[in-house]
Structure 1
């Protein structure tokens, strides 16, 4: 690449408007500095060496194996993760023609920078400054690949495209389906201090990993699919004894439909007062969300349940149609009720009781996960053992599972899993 070509690419990159944030990462800044140095008639070897060393270190620290080449993987990841008027407009379905046209103009500039792969850059450096030859190992990810996520799929399509100027609609479609910025990269979040914090390694549980309770899960699956389709859907309350798979069901649903644009946001019960703020944040985004509140219940002296009641149904500002609340509870009516509540010192005792019990009624879908009987408990044990490939005669497995259940706290799906965990560890120790 000639000096004037390098200088021209730097100038055009400086003129980016929509994708200006893509150049804000340390590796991108180092790359532009390197191109500027190499465009000189006599580049200084010390300056070039310092910038290349910083670029190499930055790429090694920001490992994102979307593609085999470290620079190309980092740069494409930055494009996909950048929240800008184009990506956010595509996500919400409000993309003016001017933004689409500007994206068509800027994407070829980004493609020019993308084309400078790690090997090409080092070859360019060695061509200009032979004394620096052999100083750096090309950074590549031989293992890049495996299961292809939507983010990896769009990265590969862009990498193979001959002209990015014609890929504006392709990129907009990705943002519309998967979300922009962190929504496109992560599938699970926690709500903390007024913001969405990504969960980098969420629980990988899948629906096919869950044994039994298929009938209980079916209405939740249907409700989630309606949410994704933009059809009327319900807030859902899952209640039953501990260990029956309520929380695992919600997390498995989020994993199953993540590729369809579903995102899970975990909200701790103690932060329920921030629920209106969270809903307002999600209202501005184009994705579909499940707000997950685990182990929801209230003591008789707590009043925060009134905020939840109002938001579910009755508030002036209802929750957005793209957001549904899925809560789990060990208590069917959510608010503790005592016999003392029925005493006659309250003039309107019936109204007081109904006011407490009406919270559960605000959930349009209520699903009971009953404690397993012996047949269902053994079904779970046998299913988990098969899934893990544990070889043991069925009668011996049955006897040991029943003995475990008698010596441990109650019969549940969790008890079954703990038994199989211990069994697997014991078999592998032999």
Structure 2
């Protein structure tokens, strides 16, 4: 009996999925699980039409969910694009070695296993929406004569050809070029050098997929969560404080180039752009391997765990602690002191700590701390211990509140960026009124005023 070509392709892919070695963890992905379930049911000797139909519809639903997170420029259909993305971010012995080791220096067995896996995965890639629908339709039609009360019409089967979102997501590495290369290739095994180069330049796993992260803890377990849409602020969009930012930029450049660099404390009044400056560094240097990890001050004791995770990674990581300060009854600042300098475990060379604070010395001080009013013999030692925390940061950059002219300069710069059509005198007068009615003079107040003015002028144009 002649076997239809689309059914032959299904069986080749099914067999290939059983032969994966290094990339076997890909099969644990929910879309892969749903896809392989369809293949398992389609490749059995006695096909159950009802089960196969149910599995196929579940697969389409799973891929529809995945399509919502598709990048702006998918390659192939939803299944094919998803499979390519899984390959590019998969962590396995080959991809991890490729981050640091030239392909020619890897063991021959490792290279051969990786090439073999890529050829097996190519069989799965060849199963596009049309092939799978035709194969399932044919198999169901043949089986339905005996199993289903009414023959199942093949044209009713849905497809995943056009599920993709047109909006795409940001905050991820642009993988269009290499995905397109795989889609055009006749032999994925020959692409091993290109894939190894990709891993070396972008990283693997979550570190290659995202540039921004947050550290979260659920119970006793902590983990990194990738941020799909990090703040898009860029350094050139920040007005004022050029000399202050220059210190941070210089330190970050040294860090990225592999030279010694310091942990940094950004101190200053609220709304002066401390946090925005740190976040803008990611958009400036993310393509050069910089990664930003947001860590709550309540998780400072997790830093050693983070160090262990990041130590042997190719990327450079900034652990970002925003609004860092301690009440006088908190003792976790002592843990931070040991982490910054003085602990037994050395901070990895690829990790720095950048923190922002509204307090110069981070720990809340009281006048009573400077008076010998209780039974403590060496109260001055306690005071010095609190004050010494900020000294553990190698660099402290101060962001003072702007004066009136500085505030207006920020307003005018933001108005130019937005292309607002308004007389300069009117702009200045309105900005000063806004400052009096709201949060005082700061970069944040200036931005909030410009946001309000932009919306107001847009409504008046209607």
Fold similarity call, TM over 0.5: yes
Shift of residue 411 of structure 1? 0.5
| Deviates most, 271-280 or 121-130 | 121-130
Instruction: Indicate the residue corresponding to 1:31 in structure 2.
Output: 35
Structural mapping, 1:6-85, within 5 Å: 6-38=10-42, 45-63=49-67, 64-65=70-71, 66-85=74-93
Whether the 8 Å CA contact 2:16–2:121 is kept in 1: the answer is no
Whether 1:309 and 2:337 are equivalent positions in the alignment is: yes
Partner of residue 88, structure 1: 96
Distance 1:331 1:112, change over 3 A: same
Structure 1: runs of 5 or more not aligned: none
Contact 1:3 1:41 in 2 (8 A): no
Q: CA deviation at 1:324?
A: 0.5
For 1:177, the equivalent position in structure 2 comes to: 201
State the partner residue of 1:132: 154
Deviates most, 222-231 or 87-96: 87-96
CA RMSD of aligned residues (A): 2.7
Measure the CA separation in 2 of the matches of 1:352 and 1:408. Answer: 39
2:178 match? 154
SS at match of 2:175: helix
Alpha carbons of structure 1 residues 353 and 39: separation in structure 2 relative to 1, 3 Å: closer
> What whole-Å deviation, never above 9, does each CA across 1:298-345 have from its counterpart, x for those lacking one?
233322111111111111111101111000011112223333322246
1:253 alignment counterpart: 281
Instruction: Specify whether residues 30 and 307 from structure 1 end up closer, same or farther in structure 2 by C-alpha distance, changes over 3 A only.
Output: closer
Cα 1:31/1:344, change in 2 over 3 Å: closer
Residues 28-427 of structure 1: pairs in structure 2 closer than 5 A:
28-38=32-42, 45-63=49-67, 64-65=70-71, 66-91=74-99, 93=101, 96-97=106-107, 98-126=109-137, 131-140=153-162, 141=164, 143=166, 149-193=173-217, 194-344=222-372, 347-427=377-457
CA distance in 2 between counterparts of 1:397 and 1:144 reads 35
Name the CA distance, whole Å, in 2 between partners of 1:320 and 1:133: 59
CA distance in 1, matches of 2:430, 2:226: 41
Deviations 1:217-271 (A, max 9, x none): 1221222222222221111110110000001111111232222222211111122
Partner secondary structure for residue 225 of structure 2: strand
Q: Is the 8 A contact 1:68 1:143 kept in 2?
A: no
Mapped contact 1:45–1:132 kept (Cα < 8 A): no
Tell me the CA shift for residue 347 of structure 1. 4.4
Q: Structure 1, residues 271-320: CA drift from partner, whole Å, max 9, x if none?
A: 22222222222224332211011111223332211111111111111110
CA distance in 2, matches of 1:298, 1:50: 56
The whole-number CA distance in structure 2 between the counterparts of 1:277 and 1:399 is 52
Relative to structure 1, the CA distance from residue 101 to residue 213 in structure 2 (aligned partners, 3 Å threshold; closer, same or farther) is: farther
What's the offset of the Cα at 1:114?
A: 1.0
Q: What's the TM-score, normalizing by structure 1?
A: 0.90
The question of whether the paired residues in 1 share the 8 Å contact of 2:272 and 2:443 is answered with: yes
Q: 1:276–1:41: structure 2 CA closer, same or farther, 3 Å change rule?
A: closer
In structure 1, how many angstroms separate the alpha carbons of the residues matched to 2:30 and 2:432? 59
Measure the CA separation in 1 of the matches of 2:255 and 2:185.
34
Deviations 1:185-229 (A, max 9, x none): 222222122211222332222223222222211221222222222
CA distance in 1, matches of 2:78, 2:211: 24
**367-376 or 196-205: which moved more?**
196-205
Segments of 4+ in structure 1 off by > 6 A? Answer: 144-148
Query: Take 2:263 and 2:195, find their aligned partners in 1: how far apart are those partners?
Result: 32
Higher alpha-carbon deviation: 279-288 or 104-113:
279-288
Given the two structures, how large is their TM-score scaled by the length of structure 2? 0.85
Contact conserved, 1:150 with 1:259, CA < 8 A, in 2? no
Q: Quote the Cα distance in structure 2 between the aligned partners of 1:35 and 1:300.
A: 63
Please say which of residues 264-273 and 27-36 is displaced more in the overlay: 27-36
